[in-house]
Amino acid sequence: MNAADVTRAEANLRPVTRLTPIEHSVRLSEVAGVPILLKREDLQVCRSFKVRGAYNRISQLDPSEREVGVVCASAGNHAQGVAFACQSLQIHGTIYLPVSTPRQKRDRIRALGGQWVELDFVDGAFDHAQQVALAHAEQSGRTYIHPYDDPAVMAGQGTVAIELFRQLEGGVETVLVPVGGGGLIAGMAAWLKEARPSIRIVGVEPAGAASARAALDHGSPKTLAGIDSFVDGTAVGRTGDRTFEVVRALVDDVVVVDEGAVCTEMLSLYHQDGIIAEPAGALATAAVCAAAAGRIGDLGLSGPTVAIISGGNNDLSRYAEVMERSMHYEGLRHYFLVTFPQQPGALRHFLDLVLGPEDDIVHFEYTKKNNRDLGPALVGIDLARPEDLGSLLARMEASPLHIEQIPTDSDLLRLLI
C-alpha cells in the first residue's frame, strides 16, 4: 500500500463518501497555543471514516467473490461501513460483533445493511470476534473484509489525508490520528509523507488498549494481556502486521491517553462545541488537552494542527459512565466507606461536620444491621475543585466516625466506574 493506492481509492470513493468539513476550534487552539483544526469524520456517511476502507475493499471484489459474499468482524463502525457497501453493491454479508457493541451501533448496522447483512454476536472483545469471523470465512469461502490490516482498506481510510491536505492547501504542520488497529493512520501516513515529508503525524491510543504503542516498544506486534473496551472503536488487543510496518516507518509518534481524559473531552466537545463524538472520536483532541495539562508528553505542536474526529456513533445511554469516568479522572469524585453508629443523628453529624459547603453526595448505600452497634455505608462525594480533597480528608480525620477512602486501584472502585 502506497500513496498511489490512496489516490486511486480517493477517485473510487468520490461518488460515495462525503467531503467532510474542517472546523477551527477556538477552545482547543487556546489550550494548545497553536491553531487546532477538526476534521469532522463524524459527519461522514455512516458517521465514521470506516466506510472509506470498507467500500473501497468490497467494491474491488470480482463477480465470483461478490456472488459468495463477505464476512467481517467489527467493534461497530467498520460493520456499518461494510453494511453500507453490501446494501449499495447488493452483496450479502455476515458481520460478527462483540457483545459489548453499543445498541446504537447495532441498530445502525441493521438499518444500513437491510436484507443484505446478518449480525452475529460474540463473547469477548474484537479480537475474539475476528477469530470467529475468519473461521467462518475459511469454511464458507466468503471474502473476509479486514477492518484495518488490508491494503485496500488502509488506502480507503487514508483518503482522509488527501481531503484535509487539499482543504488546507497544504497548510498543516501536524496531524493527530486516533489509532486502533492502525488502518487510518497507516493510510494517511503513506499519502501525507509523500506529499510533504515534514508533516508530523502523531497517533493517539487509549491507555486500556495501547496495542500500537506496545508494538513499537516491543519491535513487533504483540498481543496485550487484556484491554479496556470502553473506547470501543479502538479496542484492539493486537495492532495489524501490515499497519505496524507503515506506522513504524512513517509515523512520528504514538501517544497514550487515559480513558478518563477521553471522557472529559467527550463532554467538552458536546457542551462547548456541540459535537457528539464517540470515545474513539475524542481521542485526538483529548491528547491536545492532556498534553497541555502535563498529563502526557509534549506533542511537538508548532503550527496548524489537524485532529481527526473519527466517529460520532455514540450511544447517549453511555453518558452516565462517561460522566463518572471524567469526574474520577479530574479528581472531582471520590468514594469512601463510612462506618456509622446505628443511632439517631449519626448521618446529621457527617453532613454538618465532615461535608464541606460545596461538597455534594452523589452516591449513598447503607443497610441497617440489626443487633449491631455499627453499620457501613458506601458514600460518593463530588468536590467543586480537586484541591478541596485535602480539607475534606482533614475533616474526616478529625471526625469520630471511621472513614476509609477507597483506593483508585480497588476492585470495588472499578465496579463503580
Look at 309-318, 323-332, 382-391 and tell me which has the smallest mean pLDDT: 309-318
Selection from 197-201, 231-235, 412-416 with the highest mean pLDDT: 197-201
Tell me the CA end-to-end span of the chain in Å, nearest whole number.
41
DSSP, res 369: P
Over 90: is that where the pLDDT of 132 sits? yes
Strand order in the sheet with 22-24: 22-24, 36-40, 305-309, 174-178, 200-206, 253-257
Look up residue 158 and give its three cell numbers: 487514508
Over 80: is that where the pLDDT of 216 sits? yes
pLDDT band at residue 407 under the 50/70/90 scheme: confident
CA-CA distances (angstroms) from residue 259 to 20, 129, 289, 312, 325?
26, 23, 13, 17, 8
Task: Give the contacts of 218 (CB within 8 A, at least 6 positions apart).
Answer: none
Over 70: is that where the pLDDT of 37 sits? yes
Residue-wise pLDDT for 66-106, tens only, equals 999 999 998 789 999 999 999 999 999 999 998 888 787 88
Over 80: is that where the pLDDT of 369 sits? no
Asked about 369 being catalytic, the answer comes back as: no
Mean pLDDT over the full length of the chain: 93
pLDDT band at residue 171 under the 50/70/90 scheme: very high
Distance (Å, rounded) from C-alpha 200 to C-alpha 194?
Answer: 12
Report yes or no: 32 and 305 within 8 Å, Cβ to Cβ: yes
Report yes or no: 170 and 220 within 8 Å, Cβ to Cβ: no
Distance (Å, rounded) from C-alpha 111 to C-alpha 131?
Answer: 25
pTM to 2 decimal places: 0.91
Taking alpha carbons only, the member of 131, 148, 151, 129 closest to residue 139 is 131
> Of 25, 39, 48, 50, which one is the catalytic site residue?
50
Q: Read off the amino acid at residue 11.
A: A
Longest Cα–Cα distance in the chain: 79
Average pLDDT over residues 223-235: 90
> Of 25, 48, 310, 326, which one is the catalytic site residue?
310
Residue 178 has φ and ψ, to the nearest 5°, of -65, 145
Asked about 310 being catalytic, the answer comes back as: yes
